[in-house]
A and B are shown apart, each in its own frame.
Chain A
Amino acid sequence: MTTEPPQTILRISKLRKFFAIRNAWNRRIGWLKAVDDISLEVYRGEILGIVGESGCGKSTLGKTLMGIHKSSGGEVVFEDQPLVNLTRQESRRLSRQLQYSYQDPGASLDPRWKIRRSLHEPLVIHSGLDYQERDERVKSILDAVGLPQGHLELYPHEISGGQQRRVGLARILTLHPSLIILDEPTSGLDVSVQATILSLFLDLKKQFDLTYMFISHDLSVIRMLCDRVAVMYLGKIVELGETETIFNHPRHPYTQSLLAAIPVIGGERITDNFWLEGEPPNPSALPSGCRFRTRCPNALAICAESDPPLRSDWPHQQVACTLAE
């Protein structure tokens, strides 16, 4: 642990992404608040985990940061530059330094292209390098992600899922980014392949001075990898702080239930002890007040009155629960 104050690389304030809900006549009948007033800082050199169950808005957060979705409000500052009203040149430079790796690895690789072309393409768009220079960079990155040169001549369907992830990662790395948003980068992989990919992330981070925003629903992976973690529930961050603090003293009842649900070999059995009931409510018709209250075992009448903000009443930990102490 270093003692110097952390340096912010990305600052998100009150970011929103609402999707319109339309009826059969295409009239808007409401909003789905996929990302609802999220404020967050990412520090240079850290791995920040974003964790939460399916549909809680993790990917929407990542895509809104990247400008893949147009935000419905709020502000994003990356490397001291607000990500709005940029000149073309600035926006190009920033979009090179901030990269998003898609949840579905197939989505980033064109099935008709050989791996070589897929890896050259971002450099063609973003750099003025000639073929020789590009190919040199591509080969050295391929080496870094642990793929043999021979793979340059293969098509995506000819390589395994784990290797596709490596190619996806190589594609991003060719641009020398400073922050990478990794969206569920190991979901669907077998544990043995996941292990190799996770250690690769750690190596590359060291080698290229990277910062990661690591989106995952797998708490064990988050715990092992991340310095800090943000727990999301239905579009909001409900708990945020240092990984060890949050895993050892979760204060939000939702975080507590998530941790209680992870199978821990050698630990207490969830089949004996698990206590959370019910399922998340429909995201387009959220309950009033605290959005966890329909499942929360501690809920009181006041929980229905107002939406609890993140409180910073503890060292290294912020919690959005009225009753947390």
Chain B
Amino acid sequence: MTTDLLNVSDLRVSFATDTGVARVLDKVNFSIRRGEIVGLVGESGCGKTTLARAILGVLPVNSARIDGGRIQFQSENLLEMPSERLSKEVRGRTITFIPQDPFSSFNPVFTIGSQITDLMRWKSPLRNTQGLTRGSPWWSLRRYEKQRFKADRARVLELLRAVQLPDPEAILRKYPHEISGGQRQRLMIAQALLPEPQLIIADEPTTALDVTIQAQILKLLRQLAHDRDIAVLFTTHDLGTTYEICDRITVMYAGQEMESATASDFFNRPSHPYTQKLLESLPRDKERIQGIPGDIPTLISPPTGCRFHPRCDRADKTCADTRPAAKSIWTNHTVRCYHPNTDPEVHRELINQPYPDP
């Protein structure tokens, strides 16, 4: 336990909506170790973005409520940390964020360079060491010492080169709409790396990209994070993407985590009924492709017990009554299910479906 960089336990979050209270996260557990890339996979609406925002402490104030649980980061519970410290020392500093919609995170009226300068003024790793935060807030607001500015700028350019943006100096003079979606995502990665964080939360960072650009970005992110020993929480709805980039994987359904394992074990022995259904849905063999019967439940009156039970062909009465506890079926492999399907024959079928080599 002590080796976890981030440990989320029994986290519950709800939203007030017009039609009632939506219980969006229901006792979610998962963890990330130092330097590890963890994939959080699930279909739309299962709570990936909500979880990411809860960790960062940026849930919408008016509608969201945290009903319980812990978010342990290093040695502290972020849910109990004073918000001022959270924004000064954690958010944008030791934990950075790559949002689902990269466009919204840039201000269209300023150049990219001026926005990055602004970011570095507050979040540069050089900031604390030089004692520039002393004095009144007014003083620090105007002050961005020449020397640190120069050092920061050199680092910015170095990182823009590291994310393989062509002609970094020119990019800094451009406005956000003047660069392509792929370049914007490279820029987001550079920005997320700048404060030398411990953890990057990347919320579906490649969903809007074309496959060749996605492949470039995945490769880049994996290399940079591993080289710098930065942990990444990578959310996605695409199992294939997690195979490419993740060291460990957690599957989520309707606000509950269902299965967690190291990437290799996950893909060799996927055992939770929901995970198996997801794999059967992948477009591979037209004779065998199968969707999941039924619909995603509403979270205002979610199913009791295991939230997957109305759609699960292994469900029994217990499943509907009580949610199963996490149980370890192999080393580093847990499921929340009373009846996981651990048949090796089924595993082989699911993974080695005909997928002839190109």
Q: Which residues of A are interface residues toward B (Cβ below 8 A)?
A: 53-54, 160, 190-199, 202, 217-221, 223-225, 247-248, 250, 257-267, 269-272, 274, 276-277, 279
Interface string of B170-193 (1 = CB under 8 A from A): 000000000010110000000000
Task: Check if B144 is an interface residue, CB within 8 A of chain A.
Answer: no
- B183 touching A279 by the CB < 8 A rule? yes
Would you list the 3 A-B pairs with minimal beta carbon distance, nearest first? Answer: A196-B291, A263-B240, A261-B215
Could you say which of A195, A220, A265, A270 contacts B351, with CB atoms under 8 Å apart?
A265
A264 with B240: CB separation less than 8 A = yes
A191 x B43 contact (CB < 8 A): yes
Chain A residues near B278: list those with CB within 8 A: 191-192
Query: Which stretch in B6-14, B67-75, B280-288 binds the other chain?
Result: B280-288
C-alpha gap A184/B241 in the complex (Å): 20
- Size band of the B side of the interface? 35 or more
Q: Is B282's CB under 8 angstroms from A220's CB?
A: yes
| 8 Å CB contact of A224 from B211, B223, B243, B289 | B289
Q: Which residue of A lies closest to B357 (CB)?
A: A267
A190–B292 Cα distance when bound, in Å, is 10
Contact of A53 among B210, B351, B357 (CB under 8 A): B210
Separation in Å of the A284 CB from the closest CB of chain B?
14
CA distance A194 to B278 in the complex (A): 11
Residues of A within 8 A of B283 (CB): 191, 194-195, 198, 218, 220-221, 223-225
Please name all residues of chain B whose beta carbon is closer than 8 Å to the beta carbon of A248 when the two chains form the complex.
356, 358
Q: How far is the CA of A247 from the CA of B289 in the complex (A)?
A: 19
12 new A-B contacts, CB < 8 A, other than A199-B290, A224-B284, are A191-B43, A191-B237, A192-B43, A198-B286, A247-B356, A263-B238, A263-B240, A264-B355, A265-B239, A265-B240, A266-B243, A274-B215
Is the beta-carbon distance between B212 and A276 smaller than 8 angstroms? yes
The answer to whether the Cβ of B213 comes within 8 Å of any Cβ in the partner chain is yes
Among B214, B281, B285, which residue has its beta carbon within 8 angstroms of that of A194? B281
Residue of chain B at shortest CB distance from A188: B44
**Which residue in chain B gives the minimum CB-CB distance to A256?**
B358
| 27 pairs, CB–CB < 8 Å, chain A vs chain B | A160-B295, A190-B237, A190-B296, A192-B43, A192-B278, A192-B291, A199-B286, A202-B286, A217-B210, A220-B240, A221-B283, A224-B289, A247-B356, A247-B358, A258-B211, A260-B215, A262-B211, A263-B240, A263-B243, A265-B240, A265-B279, A265-B282, A270-B215, A270-B244, A274-B219, A277-B216, A279-B182
